[in-house]
Amino acid sequence: MVLNYIWIAFFVIAFIVALTRLIFLGDTEVFPAIINSTFETSKTAFDISLGLTGVLSLWLGIMKIGEKGGIVDWFARILSPIFCRLFPDIPKGHPVTGSIFMNLAANMLGLDNAATPLGLKAMEGLQQLNKEKDTASNPMIMFLVLNTSGLTLIPISIMVYRVQMGAAQPTDIFVPILLATFFSTLTGIIAVSLYQRINLLNRTILLFLGGISLFMGGIIYLFSRLTQHAIEVYSTTTANAFLFCIIIGFILAGMRKKVNVYDAFVEGAKEGFTTAVRIIPYLVAILVAIGVFRASGAMDYLISGIEDLVELCGINSDFVAGLPTALMKPLSGSGARGMMVDAMNTYGADSFTGRLACIFQGSTDTTFYILAVYFGSVGVVKTRHAVPCGLLADLAGILSAIFICYLFFN
28-73 pLDDT tens trace? 999 999 999 899 888 877 876 776 677 667 877 887 888 788 876 7
Q: CB neighbours of 274 closer than 8 A, spacing ≥ 6?
A: none
In three-state form (DSSP H/G/I as H, E/B as E, the rest C), the secondary structure along 201-235 is CCHHHHHHHHHHHHHHHHHHHHHHCCCHHHHHHHH
Would you give the DSSP letter of residue 410? -
Measure CA 108 to chain center: 9
Alpha-carbon span 87 to 138, nearest angstrom:
8
- Give the pLDDT confidence score for residue 151 in this predicted structure: 73
Identify the pLDDT of residue 142: 92
Q: What is the pLDDT of residue 376?
A: 76
Q: What's residue 332's pLDDT?
A: 65
- Whether 331 and 113 have beta carbons less than 8 Å apart is answered as no
Q: What is the reported pLDDT for 207?
A: 84
247 φ, ψ to 5°? -60, -50
Q: What are phi and psi of 135, to 5 degrees?
A: -120, 135
Residues 6+ apart with CB under 8 A from 33: 295
Residue 358 has what pLDDT?
93
Give dist(CA 81, CA 160) in Å, integer. Answer: 35
Which pLDDT belongs to residue 111?
Answer: 56
Stretches in the chain below the pLDDT threshold 50 = 2
CA distances from 371 to 123, 141, 391 (A): 11, 9, 11
pLDDT at 82 (0 to 100): 80
Q: Can you give the pLDDT at residue 194?
A: 92
The per-residue pLDDT for 369 is: 67
